[in-house]
Amino acid sequence: MEEAQQEIAATISPITKGITFSGGDPLLQKEGLYELLKSLRQAYPGLDFWVFTGYQFEELQDLPLLELVDVLVDGPFRQELRDWDLAFRGSSNQRIIDLSKTRHQGRLVEWQSPFL
């Protein structure tokens, strides 16, 4: 984990806004991801952390690591629902969940881009 954190730290610059974890479903390594997120959150409290997963939020909502994630893109990619017009996801069954607002409001809140 220390090596992963060092590699990530080497890529962070003054214009870095966040870090995204995706590909090969990062939640298949929940414990390692939790430890990495915890140390990164401590080192870089101003960054946003996004996680892409094929799992549904409802399956994950009790995981402690979600407390460290700002935005969760959930649901498996489905070819028959592919939509090139969607921002930050490939198929219409996937949701972009604002976990910060979800925690604050006590209900699922989908993320809204300030740019779209």
Q: What angle do the packed helices 30-43 and 2-11 form, to 10 degrees? A: 50
- Each residue of 53-76: pLDDT tens digit? 999 999 999 999 999 999 999 999
Helix or strand holding residue 72 (H, E): strand 71-74
Tell how far CA 28 is from the center of its chain: 14
Q: Where are the domains of the chain?
A: 17-105
Helix or strand holding residue 104 (H, E): helix 99-105
- Each residue of 12-48: pLDDT tens digit? 999 999 999 998 899 999 999 999 999 999 999 999 9
